[in-house]
Every structure is written in C-alpha cells, then in structure tokens.
C-alpha cells in the first residue's frame, strides 16, 4: 500500500507527463496530435497523460482560432502551477551578460548599451502615446 495520499499522487505526474510539461515549456502551446509523435506514443496515450496533467491543474486547453475553413483547434498550455516547476534564471543570465559586456567593452560599453536601450524604449513609448489625445489614455 502506498503511503502517498491521493492529493499528493495527483500532483506528481509520471515521466511521460513530465516530458509533456517540458515540451510545452520549450515549444509553447501544442495540440494532442503534435505531442503524440514527439513523445513517440499514440494519440490515445497522449490524451491519457494530458488528462492527468489537467486533473493535476498543470495544464489547460486553450482554443486557437481556426486556420482557414474548419473549427478552432485546442492547444495545451502550462498553468502558473506548472510554470513554477521550472527555475527562472533570467536574473542570473542578465548578470552574466552585463559581466561579459563589461569584460569585452569595459564600463563605458555597458553605459553605452544601457543609454541606447533607454533611448529605444523612450522612442517606442512616445510613438505609442503620441496619438492618444488625453493624459488618462496615455497612462
């Protein structure tokens, strides 16, 4: 007899389900028909794994607009609960990039890049806000 409670089992998908989560994280929304060959399983096996992930609240179906004639398709996307399973290393990557820029171009190079980014962001902001007539709309 398992000592794991049913609610714990629900939150612990198997290896195939973990692969689905990884594919959705790295490739974005996918249909069941797209997942099955990537997993090297039948569409029915993929559906069973997807249902486990839905039951665990790790994925949800999202209707996508029809491409041409036909009905909309459903693609699977990660929930916030599933997203939280993946480490967020953006801060470390940012620091590494700044250190690399500093090593290659010096502190002045970092300042030039930051100034250029500020100019580009300001120009984009102004181009979006300029046509708006009121302060309330700009905010």
Quote the tokens at residue 52.
Answer: 């486990």
Considering the domain architecture, whether residues 21 and 79 belong to the same structural domain is answered as yes
Q: Which residues pair with 60 in a beta bridge?
A: 77
pLDDT value of residue 12: 53
**How does DSSP assign 63-100, residue by residue?**
EE--SSSSPPEEEEEE-HHHHTTS---HHHHHHHHHHH
pTM for this predicted structure: 0.59
pLDDT value of residue 3: 40
Assess if residue 24 is contained within a domain. Answer: yes
Q: Which residue among 83, 100, 124 closes a domain? A: 83
Considering the domain architecture, whether residues 55 and 118 belong to the same structural domain is answered as no
Assess if residue 68 is contained within a domain. Answer: yes
Considering the domain architecture, whether residues 69 and 132 belong to the same structural domain is answered as no
Considering the domain architecture, whether residues 23 and 46 belong to the same structural domain is answered as yes
Owning domain of residue 23:
6-83
Assess if residue 56 is contained within a domain. Answer: yes
Assess if residue 1 is contained within a domain. Answer: no
- Give me the CATH number covering residue 39: 1.10.10.10
Considering the domain architecture, whether residues 76 and 96 belong to the same structural domain is answered as no
Q: Total structural domains in the chain? A: 2
Considering the domain architecture, whether residues 54 and 12 belong to the same structural domain is answered as yes
Assess if residue 123 is contained within a domain. Answer: yes
Considering the domain architecture, whether residues 74 and 100 belong to the same structural domain is answered as no
Considering the domain architecture, whether residues 29 and 65 belong to the same structural domain is answered as yes
Tens-digit pLDDT profile for the chain (139 aa)? 434 334 434 445 679 999 999 999 999 999 999 999 999 999 999 999 999 999 999 999 999 887 777 788 899 999 999 999 998 889 999 999 999 999 999 999 999 999 999 999 999 999 999 899 888 888 8
pLDDT value of residue 80: 95
Instruction: Report the Cα 100 to chain-centroid distance in Å.
Output: 26
């Amino acid at each position: 007899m398992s000592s794991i409670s049913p609610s714990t089992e629900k939150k612990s998908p198997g290896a195939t389900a973990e692969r689905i989560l990884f594919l959705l994280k790295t490739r974005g929304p996918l249909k069941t028909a797209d997942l099955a060959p990537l997993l090297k399983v039948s569409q029915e096996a993929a559906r069973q794994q997807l249902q486990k992930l839905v039951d665990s609240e790790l994925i949800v179906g999202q209707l996508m607009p029809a491409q041409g004639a036909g009905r909309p398709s459903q693609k699977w996307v990660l929930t916030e609960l599933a997203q939280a399973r993946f480490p967020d290393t953006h801060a470390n990557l940012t620091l590494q990039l700044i250190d690399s820029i500093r090593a290659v171009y010096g502190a002045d190079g970092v300042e030039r890049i930051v100034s250029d980014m500020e100019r580009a962001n300001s120009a984009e902001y102004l181009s979006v806000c300029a046509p708006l007539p009121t302060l309330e709309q700009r905010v």
